[in-house]
Structure 1
Amino acid sequence: MMRKLKIMMASLLLICAVLVLGTCAFLNRMEFGRNPQGNHYEILKKSPRFIEGEFRNPVPTPLFTDDSTVFSVIVKSIFTPKERLVPDMAVPSVKTDLFSLDPEKDLVIWLGHSSYYVQLAGKRILVDPVFSPYASPFFLFNRAFDGTNVYRAEDIPAIDYLLITHDHWDHLDYPTVMALEPKVKKVVCGLGVGSHFANWGYAASKVLEADWFTGLKNHDGFDIHILPARHFSGRGVMRNRTLWVSFVLQSEKRRIFLSGDTGYGPHLTQIGKLFDGFDLAILENGQYDKRWAFIHMMPEETAKAAVELGAKSVLPAHSGKFAISNHAWDEPFTRLAKASRGKPYRLLTPVIGESVDLDDEKQTFSHWWEPHEPLSGEVCESSGLIEGRTENRSDLE
């Protein structure tokens, strides 16, 4: 009996050891990056945002609004039926040839989720590019919707500035940034995020990480301001060792605000007043839930934030490619369109890959997420989009 008990105990210890070693090996994969260490960590400690070993929001921001935990949310997500979480057909898209664009033309192209290609003041800027089929460290989790993974690294021209708002997997994608490295002149990110890039082989001279209310000013014909967001960070077990940020791109001609992931908060009004409004605000609008309402805005809050920012036009982000929350895949667009009625801004809703001309205030876009009857026009075989289909929606003005 004792011999059997010893064998059982030894087996359990062996299983535990294998699990621990396996977990450690998994978390040490290159994709997870590396949190700041040594002298780098000492530099972060000088930031007023870095308190008791972690970055913090200026207002209390618990991860959950109730007694939920990460584990309980995952379990509930697995076992709770969800309706229309994923579209039942390919998401419409076009594939604009980025190499053929006039670099002096100011424009924005949505690449899906929170990824954007921006041309401003003769500079090419790439924001949070994720070209992998999954936005997760686990294979098969957070799979991109059919039709949304249109672009690859080889489709991207030389980039003057790669902007990273924070280090979550759906914003900082290891395979993508590694494939882009030869094309990127400068990475701009929040404090600590540069540690991931250093671990991945990016030269230190290529990476600028900075605190809120700093950035590149009077540089190459325009400014890049690093500003607050209300969120959190982390690619593994440890949270908030790197800083989450928003950006303002400012040229002599226009100002663009990039919210990154953020909950609604007083920082939005503050930023609007600081810059006296924006020609365009690219605002998060998706992956929300009442349980984590402090770290992601509801669509109605996105509309409210646009007004407080003084935005003339709004492009929604953080939706249309991945199902990270439990709402219907098209709900963010429907709710924001409704909330935007009568607001003093234009809601711009391009399909993935469609160019938004920042000099054309009359350019119109369709409610592409809505079911519709086929219209006359040329159908793009790869995505099902009817080329040139635009509708003048009065409720979006």
Structure 2
Amino acid sequence: MVIVVALGALAIAAYLQHPLFGELPQGERLARIEGSPNHAGGSFRNQTETPMLTTDESQVAIMLSNTFGKTGNPRPPGAIPSVKTDLKALDVSQDLVVWLGHSSYYVQLGGRRILVDPVFSANASPVPGTNTAFDGTSLYSADDMPPIDVLLISHDHYDHLDYPSILALQPLVRQVVAGLGVGAHFEAWGYDMRLVREADWYETVRTPALQIIATPARHFSGRTFTRDQSLWVGFVLKTNERRIFFSGDSGYAPHFAQIGRDYGPFDWAALDAGQYDPRWANVHMTPEQAARAAEDLRTRVLMPGHAGRFSISPHDWDDPFKRIVAASQGRGYALWTPEIGRPVYLDGRAQQFSPWWETVHANDLQKLAGDHES
């Protein structure tokens, strides 16, 4: 037994050397981090006091409860409906967004092609088979991407910074913008650091025809057992014609109103609305909180994100969509709920969106009815 335990420990230690775990900041990068007003006591801090858990349960107990306890239906009963758009064939002069599932987006703005938190892998976890994509959602790979002018990374969690995707995209990426410290991963993975910009909260990165502002979020970071050594951010994207916003992973807090005052109103915003749970209520928003944040931001359009491809929380997989529809009634913005892969246009044209999540249940019921008749 001692030998088995020792061999197991050695295997784990060896696996932790895999490059997918990335690197912690060191040297000049660490010195810059330590000079940030958002860094204190050896780690980054949220603007609002943010205990990670809002329960007496330990993280191990939560993990076991999610795995073996009684939960809802965190995975859909059938394939998610989607549209495979040829991204390379899109007219780059058209301002548009294509949701790629979860928190991944392809964006065209001001003639620039932008990719946000791309996760093409079917498993968003360092442990195989523990966070697998829903059927029908793994439409895209790096081979489907056109040249990318700017790659945006909100933080270094596995469902936002995907090692195989980042490696595969390297020949296509002309610039990377991420929070302070995230560049350590890109450097370890062989990126030319002249192309990587690391930004603190409220810092602006200017590129041709496009301004990118890294904004606060209420969350945390870390790929191993060490947390909060790199910064988690949202992004404001500004051109002469439009302003759009990505929240990244974030709990609700006053920073949304501040961003709305400083940079709004927005033409479009994507907000974290899909991985909530009372046990970690500070670091992800419920759909109702996302609706409130959309009004704080003064956005004309809201698209819910962090849902529809991976399940991190034990609630029903379609609960975010049902609740955001209800929470958006009577609000001062339009709610857009496109299928994965469908372009949405930011030029004011009329666009209609159906409750596609309802068709997953309908298809499942039809299948059950067909099986019963046979």
| Amino acid in structure 2 at the alignment position of 1:106 | D
1:66 corresponding residue in structure 2: 55
Structure 1: runs of 5 or more not aligned: 1-10, 375-397
**1:220-259 matches, cutoff 5 A:** 220-259=208-247
Is residue 2:30 matched to residue 1:41?
yes
Alpha-carbon distance in 1 for matches of 2:72, 2:284: 21
Is residue 2:297 matched to residue 1:297?
no
Is residue 2:249 matched to residue 1:261?
yes
* CA apart distance, 1:215: 2.4
1:216 corresponding residue in structure 2: 205
Alpha-carbon distance in 2 for matches of 1:188, 1:69: 34
1:206 corresponding residue in structure 2: 195
1:197 corresponding residue in structure 2: 186
SS in 2 for 1:185: coil
Counterpart pick for 1:26 among 11, 15, 23: 15
* CA apart distance, 1:106: 0.2
1:383 corresponding residue in structure 2: none
Q: What percent of counterpart residues are identical?
A: 51
Counterpart pick for 1:154 among 143, 159, 170: 143
1:338 corresponding residue in structure 2: 326
**1:264-275 matches, cutoff 5 A:** 264-275=252-263
Q: What is the root-mean-square deviation in Å for CA atoms of aligned residues? A: 1.2
Distance 1:54 1:26, change over 3 A: same
SS in 2 for 1:137: coil
Is residue 2:126 matched to residue 1:137?
yes
1:306 corresponding residue in structure 2: 294
Regions of 4+ moved over 6 Å: none
How many pairs does the alignment contain?
Answer: 362
2:173 corresponding residue in structure 1: 184
1:356 corresponding residue in structure 2: 344
SS in 1 for 2:31: helix
Counterpart pick for 1:88 among 65, 77, 81: 77
| Amino acid in structure 1 at the alignment position of 2:332 | P
* CA apart distance, 1:77: 1.0
* CA apart distance, 1:314: 0.6
1:104 corresponding residue in structure 2: 93
| Amino acid in structure 2 at the alignment position of 1:120 | L
| Amino acid in structure 2 at the alignment position of 1:153 | A
SS in 1 for 2:149: strand
Alpha-carbon distance in 1 for matches of 2:272, 2:102: 9
2:152 corresponding residue in structure 1: 163
Alpha-carbon distance in 1 for matches of 2:241, 2:330: 27
Counterpart pick for 2:305 among 317, 337, 347: 317
Write out per-residue CA displacement over residues 185-232 of structure 1, whole angstroms, 9 at most, x where no aligned residue.
Answer: 001000000000000000110110110111213x30120011100000
| Amino acid in structure 2 at the alignment position of 1:312 | R
Distance 1:18 1:373, change over 3 A: closer
2:269 corresponding residue in structure 1: 281
| Amino acid in structure 2 at the alignment position of 1:165 | S
| Amino acid in structure 1 at the alignment position of 2:139 | V
Write out per-residue CA displacement over residues 26-75 of structure 1, whole angstroms, 9 at most, x where no aligned residue.
Answer: 21111111111223212211111111111110111011012122111111
2:371 corresponding residue in structure 1: none
Alpha-carbon distance in 2 for matches of 1:321, 1:27: 26
* CA apart distance, 1:22: 2.0
Structure 2: runs of 5 or more not aligned: 364-374
Alpha-carbon distance in 1 for matches of 2:72, 2:35: 47
SS in 1 for 2:158: coil
2:367 corresponding residue in structure 1: none
Counterpart pick for 1:122 among 104, 111, 118: 111
Note if contact 2:264-2:299 (Cα within 8 Å) is conserved in structure 1.
Answer: no
* CA apart distance, 1:15: 4.0
* CA apart distance, 1:267: 0.4
Alpha-carbon distance in 2 for matches of 1:316, 1:25: 39
2:161 corresponding residue in structure 1: 172
Note if contact 2:221-2:229 (Cα within 8 Å) is conserved in structure 1.
Answer: yes
Alpha-carbon distance in 2 for matches of 1:323, 1:222: 33
SS in 2 for 1:105: coil
SS in 2 for 1:159: coil
Larger radius of gyration: 1
Alpha-carbon distance in 1 for matches of 2:103, 2:311: 13
Alpha-carbon distance in 2 for matches of 1:350, 1:34: 36
2:366 corresponding residue in structure 1: none
SS in 2 for 1:213: coil
1:326 corresponding residue in structure 2: 314
Alpha-carbon distance in 1 for matches of 2:294, 2:254: 13
| Amino acid in structure 2 at the alignment position of 1:53 | G
